[in-house]
Amino acid sequence: MKRFYRALAFAALAVAAVLPATAVDVEDATPTPAPILSTEIGGRDLGFLMGAAPQIALLAGLADLAKSRAVTPEVQSEAATVSKEQTAAAAQLKDLAARDHVSLGGDPDDQGGKVLADLRKLDGVKFDKAFLDAQADAQDALETTLNGGATSSDQSIKTFATANLQTLKEERDRVRKLGL
């Protein structure tokens, strides 16, 4: 029996000698968590960024589609201009969001996707009219969002929103002059 206790004591000493080394190895192998990105953006400004992104994407998507599908040269020209303006606005918005560690998608929301899908089914003059109607609706929605951004306490958001409200006004003025 003495041998048993002696063997047990020896085993306990052996385990005790190994455990601290194992604990150190495990502790050293534990990765350090990445720092959490902090953001200074408030809920209202975050809502603006998240709301404006799919609306701008829809306007750009409508214009891109019309560049190739419109039959009226004036509508094709307007679509090319709107595509360039809204693509630039989307890039500016993404830069603005990145400053606050906010990731934005580059696609329209589900409703915008449906508008684009419905528009793809049309041809000719029907397409041109439907495009201009869809563009006007998308501009109305974006205008509401931009008006909210124009009252932001964040100067960068305010500047972005104000400049893009002016762009929307110019787009509407051009379409009115087309008389379509």
Round to whole Å and give the CA distance between 133 and 75.
12
Are 41 and 104 a contacting pair, CB within 8 Å? no
Task: Specify the pLDDT at position 34.
Answer: 45
How is residue 100 annotated by DSSP? Answer: T
Token pair for residue 54? 């799919």
Token pair for residue 16? 């005790």
Task: Specify the pLDDT at position 35.
Answer: 44
Task: Specify the pLDDT at position 2.
Answer: 53
Task: Specify the pLDDT at position 177.
Answer: 86
Nearest-10 Cα torsion for 140, 146, 151, 153:
160
CATH, domain range 43-178: 1.20.1260.10
Task: Specify the pLDDT at position 84.
Answer: 97
Token pair for residue 64? 């891109």
Task: Specify the pLDDT at position 22.
Answer: 47
pLDDT digits (tens, 9 = 90+) for 86-122: 999 999 999 999 998 999 988 999 999 999 999 999 9
Task: Specify the pLDDT at position 85.
Answer: 96
HSE-up (13 A, CA, CB side) for residue 40: 4
Task: Specify the pLDDT at position 39.
Answer: 53
The ranges of the chain with pLDDT < 50 are 4-5, 7-8, 10-11, 15, 18-19, 21-26, 34-38
